[in-house]
Structure formats: structure tokens, C-alpha cells
Structure 1
Amino acid sequence: MDVDKRGREPEGCLTAAIRIPVRIVVLIVVVPVRVVWDALTACGRALDRVLLRPLGRALRRLWDSVLTPVGRALAWLVTGLVTHGVVAPCAWLYRWVLAPAGRGVARLAAGFAAGTAWLVTTLVVRPLAWLHRTVLRPLGRGVGLVLWAVLVWPWIALYRWVMTPAGHGLVWLYTHALLPLGRGLWAAGAWLGRVLIVAPALFVHRWVLTPLGRALVVAGREVRDAFVVAWRVAGYVSRAVWRAVAWLVRQLAVRPLTWFYRSVCTPVGHAVRDHLWRPVRRAAAEAGRAAGAALASARETVRRARRDAWRALVGGDRAGRPGEPAGAPARSLGSTTTAPGVAPAPEISLRKRG
């Protein structure tokens, strides 16, 4: 259960003092979590094996056998309806109505635009070009010269004879006075910063934060290792707990139920099957056969009675009528007289054979 310790620094008293309490506390916290996790994992596997996979197979079969053919049929139907009901009429309308109309409108618009452009060029553009060339351009050049003489030249003279010497003076002042003063102030500020800020910060970092950080790193590493070890130990404890629960369930429920099924239910079921169900079924079958035979005998008796009554009234057999097929005249054994309902005898009697 020891974790890998390669690449670590030598352990001290602080590590040994932190390790055991942390591992005990983490083990107490992690064991119930691992037990519940193993139970949920087992339930999830059982649910996947018993419910989700059969449900997925059933849905896949439903998709493959029902929804896919129905979707293809609907797609074929919609495609046919759209193609023959919408696309073909729209294509015909575009080809024979909208396209010719659009070409005619485009030609009319092109002619109108050409005429409009000619009118605008003749009535507007050419007069404005002549006005710009003969009037506005010379006037603009004169106004530009006046503005240059009145506005631009004074600013050029001011920049050349006033602002340039003033700028040179300011540069000399910055270079020979302000820059040395700034360097001195920066050096003084840097010295004060080193003395008042950097040195105390280095002291706090070296003697306070570094030991505290090392202690926190050791504590965090021990907590991490404690969680790893506790998770493994919790796995062993969880397996032992669930094995014990399974053993108790098997001893308290499965074995008694198995013994009850084998020792009580099976003999009782065999006895009921052998001594009750089979005789009842056999008696029912025999009763059914007897009832069938009785019904057949009664039907035959009624048929004979009707045939005898018809023969007594009419004097002949009811041959040729539907539902009453005339049987062939039969002779009794050893005689040539016919009797209704008797099986036909051979043409040569036994006395004649002898």
C-alpha cells in the first residue's frame, strides 16, 4: 500500500507527524464513499446488462425494421410530390414565362438607361465640365494663392524663426538640467526601495513564506498519498463488505429458497402432476372421446331415422340431395338382402366361394 517514493527529498519529523493522522482521517472519510461507489457501479452494470442493452437492441430493430422503411417511403413520396407538384411547374413557369418577361424588361430598362445617360450627359455633365474648366478652376487657383499668402506663410515664418529656437533651448535644458536631476532622483528612489521594500520582502520570503510553503507542500503531498492509500484500502474493505453481504444473502435467502423449492415445491409439483393433473387430463380426454363417439352415434341414428322415414313416405332413397349422400346398398354377410347403414359386402358371398 506504499506509494512510489522515487525522486523525493528525505522525510523529516514533520512528514512523519502529519502522515498517520491524515491517513486515518482520510480513510474514515473515503471508506463509505468507496462502498457506495462500488454499489453504484454494480447496479449500473446490472442495469446496463438487464435493461439498457435489450432496450437498445429493441430500439435498433424497431429503427431498422419499421422507421427506416417508413422514412424512405415518406421521403420517396415527398420527393415525388415536390418534384412533380412544385419543381416541374416552377421550372416551366420560369422557362416559358418569367425568363422571356425578364429579358424584355431588361431590354426596356437598358434602352431607358441609355437614353437617360445621354440626356444627363448632354444637359448636365457637359455644361458642368465647361463651367469647371473655364470658371471654377481659375477662380480656385486665385483663391489658393490668396490663402497661401494670408494663412500658411505666417505659420511657416513662426515655426522657422520662433518655435525652432525655443525647441532647441528646451532640449538643451532637458539634457543638461532635468535629465541629471531625474537620474539622481531615480537612484535615490531605487536605494530607498531596496532598503524599505526589497530587503523586508526578501526576509519575509526567505524566513517565513519558504518554510510555510514547504510545510504546505509536504502536507498536500501527504494528503494526496493518504487519499490514494485510503482509496485502495477502501476498495479492499468494500469488497469484503459486499462479499459478506452476498454470503449473508446466500445463506439467509438463496439456500432456504433453494431447499424449499427442491424439498417441498418439486415433490408437491410432481405429486400434483402424477396423481392429479395426469388422471384429470386422461379422464377429460376419455370423456371427450366418449362424448364425440356418443355424438357421432346419435348423428348416425338421426340420419338413419330420417332415411327410413323418407323411404316409408316416398318409397325410395333421398339420392342426389345436398347434405344427404346416398350410401351404396349393402348386404349382410351370407345373404343377398340389403340393409341400410350396413357396410357393403363383397359381391361373392362366402357360401358361393365355398
Structure 2
Amino acid sequence: MDLEKPPAQQPPDGCLVVAIRVPVRIVMLVVVLPVRMAWDALVVAGRFLDDAVLRPVGRGLLWFGRAVFVWPFVALWRWVLVPAGRALAWLGHVLVAVPCGWLYRYVLTPIGHAIAWVGRGIAAGLAWVYARVLTPVGHGIMWLLKGLGAVLAAGGVGVAWLVRYLLVVPATWLYEWLLAPVGRALVWCVNGLVWAVRMIVTGIGTALYWTCRILFVLPALALWRWLLVPVGHALAVVGREIGAALGHAWRVAGHISRAVGRFLATLFRWIFVEPVRWAYARVLTPVGHAVRDAVLRPVGEALRAAGRATRQALASARDSARQARADFRRMLFGEPRQPRATVRREPAAADTRTLGSSTTALTKD
């Protein structure tokens, strides 16, 4: 079973497309080839500059920046600020935190408890005043207000009856038999006027619509359909062919530029690199070996012998000076006191205990 999708079938190009494609690709190759060769040369020069100049300079600047800015600040932080901060923290703890804790525990806390006890007493007194004094007074005032409200409610019933039959009933009759018919007539007239205006506006709008359609829309549609669309298609074909030709010319110019670069690299190698390598391998290396064997190695041996003789002379001088100091000290202060020999109860390392010797407690005479 073939799992690969078959390539999409592209429609065949017309003769006009084929006639445009070849000269456009030739012109594009002629135009793009110098640009591509210059671009490849700039890329090679940029890579060489990056490898030979920018990266070493960048590493040097990075090391210089670390040595000038980072390492001093790190040392300042590690050896100055951190110990100073710890000392300040210890001083803050001893001078501020401990006294504040003592003040809070032994001064402010008892004062706060006393204030809370006084506040609870005041709250209990206010509660007693509210329950025994203010509550009965409030109940009495509410009883008086209820009686006054009942009196006002009885008077309000009579006032409501007078308002109903003197104002509401006449106003209702006036609305039903006079104002409502007049309003309906006015609404009917306004509706008729709106319908007439709407019909006039609709007719004018229809006329303007067809006028604009005939004068503007249909010519613009014909211009778009029969002129702009074909021209756009032709321009799209030309643009597509120019883009394809530009890509093809860029790739071909890349191959040509690569071949020219390889030729120049080979030429440079045969003209400069190979002679230099041959001179180094055939001339400079034998000369260097001869100079090393004939000059440098004997000179090195002579210098090492002179160094050994100098070191031996200095060692002899140091020994003579040390012996002279010892003799002078002995002449002034006498012989040094010799340490007293102590009897060791344990045998030495060379004379270890054995069952056949007389050093053990069982076999000692």
C-alpha cells in the first residue's frame, strides 16, 4: 500500500507564461548574480571577523568587565556587606528587639489588661443604664406616638373621602369623556401624516437608488469585471513569474558563487598556504631542530650546570653560617643541656614481647 500522497497536478501553463518566464529568469540571473556574490563575500568576511576579532575581543571585554565590575562587587558583598549586615542584625536584635519585647511583655501588656478591665466595667455600666433607664423611657415614648398616630389616622380617613369625591371623580370623568377622544383624534392625524411622509421619502429613496445604481454601480461593476480583473490576473502572473525567477536566480547565483569561492579558496591555498606550509615543513623545521640541537640545548645544559653549582655554593654557605652561629652560641652560653634518658616500661618497637623472653611478668626472674 502506497502511503505517500501523489503530487498535486498543477494546471499546464499557457504560452504567454512560458514566453515571459525564460527572459525574466535570464534578466533576474544577470541582476541577482553580483548581489549574491557580494552577499556571500560579506558572509565569509563576517564569519572570519567574528571568529578572529569579535569573539576574542568579546571574551577579553567580558573578562575585563568581570574583573572591574563583578569581582569587586562580589568581594564587597561577601567580605564587607554581609559581615556588616550580620553585625547590624545582631546589634538590632540586642538593642531594639530585646528591649521592645521586654517593654511589650512587662509594661504594655499589663497596661492593656488594665485598660481592658476598665473598658469592661464601663460597658457593664452602660448596659445597665440602657436596660434600666433608656428602655422604659423609649417604651413610653412609643406608646405616646402610637396614640398620636391613631388620632391622625382617624382624621386622615375623612380627608381621603373629601379628596376622592371633590378631586378624583371629576378628574376621571374629564379624562374619559373629553381628553381621551381628543387624544385619539390627534394620534390618528399624526399617523396619517407619518404614513404620507414615509411614502414620499420611500419614493424619493427608490428613485435615488436606481439613479445611483445606473450612474455609478453598474459602470463600476463593468469596469471591475471587464478591465481591472483581467489586468490584475496579468499582473499576478507577471509578479508570480518574477518571484519564481528571483528565487531561481538566487539559487543558481548561490551555486555559481559557491563554485567561484571554492576556486578562489583553492587558488589561495596553492598560491599562499601550500608554499608557506612547504617552507615551514622543509626549511623552518630543520633549521629550528638544528638551532635547538646545536645552540639551545648546550646553552640550556650550561645554564642548568651553572644553576646546580650556584645552588651547591649557596647550600655550603648556609651550612657554614649555621655552623658559625652554633659555635658562637656554644662559646657564649656553653654546651646545651642534654635531655635525661627515661626508663621505658614498655619495650621498644624492635624488641617486642615474646613468650620465650624474660620481659613478661610470668617468665621474669
In the superposition, the TM-score normalised over structure 1's length comes to 0.54
Tell me, yes or no, if the aligned pair for 1:23 and 1:227 is still in contact at 8 Å.
yes
Q: Are residue 23 (structure 1) and residue 28 (structure 2) matched?
A: yes
SS at the partner of 1:197? Answer: helix
Q: Which runs of structure 2 are paired with 1:118-157 in the superposition (5 Å)?
A: 157=175
Provide the rounded CA distance (Å) in 1 between the counterparts of 2:103 and 2:221: 85
The 1:185/1:296 distance shift into structure 2, 3 A limit, reads: closer
Q: Which has the higher contact order (CA 8 A, sep 6+)?
A: 2
What letter is aligned with 2:240? R
Q: Which runs of structure 2 are paired with 1:271-282 in the superposition (5 Å)?
A: 271-282=290-301
> What does the per-residue CA deviation read over 1:250-299, in whole Å, with 9 as the maximum and x for residues that have no partner?
22332222122112221221111111112222333444556667788999
Provide the rounded CA distance (Å) in 2 between the counterparts of 1:83 and 1:163: 93
Q: Which runs of structure 2 are paired with 1:13-162 in the superposition (5 Å)?
A: 13=16, 16-17=19-20, 20-21=23-24, 23-24=28-29, 27-28=32-33, 30-32=35-37, 34-36=39-41, 38-39=43-44, 42-43=47-48, 46=51, 85=92, 92=101, 96=105, 104=115, 157=175, 160-162=180-182
> What does the per-residue CA deviation read over 1:104-147, in whole Å, with 9 as the maximum and x for residues that have no partner?
58x969x79x97xx8xx999xx99xx7xx97xx99x999xx89x
Number of residue equivalences: 288
Structure 2 equivalent of residue 206 of structure 1: 225
> What does the per-residue CA deviation read over 1:309-346, in whole Å, with 9 as the maximum and x for residues that have no partner?
xxxxxxxx999679xx9xxxxxxxxxxxxxxxxxxxxx
Q: 2:13 aligns with which of 10, 32, 41?
A: 10
Provide the rounded CA distance (Å) in 2 between the counterparts of 1:302 and 1:77: 50
What letter is aligned with 1:254? V
Provide the rounded CA distance (Å) in 2 between the counterparts of 1:89 and 1:301: 68
> What does the per-residue CA deviation read over 1:204-234, in whole Å, with 9 as the maximum and x for residues that have no partner?
0112110121122112212221232122123
SS at the partner of 2:13? Answer: coil
Provide the rounded CA distance (Å) in 2 between the counterparts of 1:93 and 1:212: 94
Structure 2 equivalent of residue 193 of structure 1: 212
Percent identity, aligned pairs only, is 31
In the superposition, the TM-score normalised over structure 2's length comes to 0.53
Structure 1 equivalent of residue 259 of structure 2: 240
The 1:18/1:229 distance shift into structure 2, 3 A limit, reads: closer
What letter is aligned with 1:224? G
Provide the rounded CA distance (Å) in 1 between the counterparts of 2:211 and 2:111: 90
Residue 19 (structure 1) shift:
5.5
Tell me, yes or no, if the aligned pair for 1:23 and 1:230 is still in contact at 8 Å.
yes
Consecutive unaligned residues of structure 2, counting only runs of 5 or more, are 1-6, 336-365
Provide the rounded CA distance (Å) in 2 between the counterparts of 1:26 and 1:91: 85
